[in-house]
Amino acid sequence: MVQISTLDRPADGGPGPIRRTALHDTLVNHLRDMIIEGNLEPGTRLHEGQLGEQLGVSRTPLREAIKYLASEGLVELVPSRGAVVKRFSAKDVQDMLTVLRNLEELAGKLACQLASDDEIAHMRAVHDEMVRRYRDGDRLQYYKLNQEIHSGIVKLARNATLADLHQMLQTRLKRIRFIGHEGPEKWAAAVAEHEEMIAALEARDEARLSEVLGRHLGNAWERVRAAI
């Protein structure tokens, strides 16, 4: 059952505002994780009754969460079939990774020019925590920190249009990127590339960071193509 907390109370214990989005956010995050980890595989129909019973929630908030995942591109609303976990073709994935690669190459250059020292230090801290999760074998938390680094570099580019496009593609590729870390060799290679990224960012070497990001995204396609 999903654990829900809907109230945020002040430290004095007095009445606090009801967080109307708490249940929605919890359901969205939980269902998204189920898709990422493959518990809900591509093509799976999302039966509201079964999922609601499994998660301990009613159909109404569950339906809203599913609609939100559809807006992210992880779920498809199919006439006469209802909600289905989105299945992407190999061509879809390759095309999205190609665009994502170009966006991140540009973001890397801009981030080296525009990021503050504190922001770069924060990225190093996130990276170090990601490496700890890797050493612990915690794939899901490693993956989330991995994605936070990619989004963080894009944020440092200070370009809202670039960030919006990147977020859309990164969200749709969540499950695909997750399976790219399956197997010790693939996972170790991805971590090594992230080590190069952070070193290049810290050196503010925009050409090097752009090259590493491009290579990393190119390798991402090679890591996942056989599994699609």
Q: Are residues 126 and 46 in the same domain?
A: no
Rounded CA separation 19/47 (Å): 27
Whether 5 has a pLDDT exceeding 70, the answer reads no
Q: What confidence category does residue 223 fall into, taking pLDDT thresholds of 50, 70 and 90?
A: confident
For 118-155, write each residue's pLDDT tens digit: 999 999 999 999 999 999 999 989 999 999 999 999 99
Q: Are residues 55 and 153 in the same domain?
A: no
- Structural domain including 26 reads 22-85
pLDDT number for residue 10: 41
| Residue 31, domain CATH | 1.10.10.10
pLDDT number for residue 19: 46
| Residue 199, domain CATH | 1.20.120.530
Both structure tokens of 38: 């493959």
pTM: 0.79
17 located within any domain: no
Q: What confidence category does residue 177 fall into, taking pLDDT thresholds of 50, 70 and 90?
A: confident
Longest CA–CA separation in the chain, Å:
56
Q: Which residues contact 102 (CB under 8 A, 6 or more apart)?
A: none
Rounded CA separation 202/148 (Å): 17
Q: Are residues 114 and 74 in the same domain?
A: no
For 24-46, write each residue's pLDDT tens digit: 999 999 999 999 888 999 999 99
pLDDT number for residue 2: 55
Q: Are residues 187 and 97 in the same domain?
A: yes
Averaged pLDDT for residues 88-112: 96
pLDDT number for residue 8: 40
pLDDT number for residue 225: 86
Structural element, H or E, at residue 187: helix 184-202
The interaxial angle of helices 90-114 and 206-224, nearest 10 deg, is 160
Whether 114 has a pLDDT exceeding 80, the answer reads yes
3 located within any domain: no
